[in-house]
Structure 1
Amino acid sequence: MNVVSQLLIALVAIEHLYILWLEMFAWTTRGRKTFKSLSPELFEPTKALAANQGLYNGFLAAGLCWSLLIDDSVWSQNVACFFLGCVIVAGVYGALTAQRSIFFVQALPAIIALAFVLLAR
């Protein structure tokens, strides 16, 4: 993979590591400031649900990081495509069911990264 696609994959992975931290460890503090559309009284009762979502974001980040560590370029691209595809599906679903901005924050960066991975083939 070329350097640009690797940088974009790394950025998407870093974003999902941030989401992991936010949802697993800072849901009732920083989460309130980030997710202003939710009423403040919902954060404490939804702490476990948010942590579960954060864990899944961590798996996405781990897969993207793994793709950057694979020596075989074909396998590296295949793994990157799979995990970027997962991020895209999750981002589109989130945009359709929760908040439209999720598309722009999660799905769009992954779409751009996937385009660069495919162009690097």
Structure 2
Amino acid sequence: MFGNILTGLVALIHCYIVYVEMVLWDTPRGHKAFNLKPDFASASKVLAANQGLYNGFLATGLIWGLYRGTGGFQIKMFFLLCVAVAGLYGGATVGRKILFVQTLPAVLAIIALWLGR
């Protein structure tokens, strides 16, 4: 139960990331969320939308796993592992904040799902 709640939270975080990357990237709110300069945001808008799409796939996979209930354990684990690995890479290449926003919630959900099995 608690693992599903955390998985849902990770899915919601990724839905928000999709929205920021695909819709708000080149706005003051997007600039603040990702610490962007306006000229860089404008030049990278298409790349950010593509990145947002991939985050949307992660959110969709997590929601699919939740929808499957107990039969979705492996689906949830796979997509949570993908989120955790993506967060580790982002934390190493972009900034440590990603470790707390993406990796930590995914790892906590993995642990909770595993313990609740």
Task: Indicate whether the TM-score tops 0.5.
Answer: yes
Give, in angstroms, the shift of residue 40 of structure 1.
2.3
Give, in angstroms, the shift of residue 34 of structure 1.
1.1
Residue number in structure 2 paired with 1:109: 105
Alignment gaps of 5+ in structure 1 = none
Task: Kindly report structure 1 stretches of 4+ aligned residues shifted beyond 6 Å.
Answer: none
- Which of 89, 95, 111 aligns to 1:93? It is 89
1:43 and 2:26 aligned: no
Give, in angstroms, the shift of residue 12 of structure 1.
0.3
Residue number in structure 2 paired with 1:23: 21
What is the TM-score with the length of structure 2 in the denominator? 0.95
Whole-angstrom CA distance in 2 between matches of 1:100 and 1:33:
16
Whole-angstrom CA distance in 1 between matches of 2:67 and 2:100:
27
Alignment gaps of 5+ in structure 2 = none
Give, in angstroms, the shift of residue 39 of structure 1.
2.3
Root-mean-square deviation (Å):
0.9
Give, in angstroms, the shift of residue 120 of structure 1.
1.2
Whole-angstrom CA distance in 2 between matches of 1:54 and 1:114:
23
Whole-angstrom CA distance in 1 between matches of 2:87 and 2:23:
21
What is the TM-score with the length of structure 1 in the denominator? 0.92
Letter in 1 for 2:72: S
1:32 and 2:31 aligned: yes
Whole-angstrom CA distance in 2 between matches of 1:96 and 1:34:
18
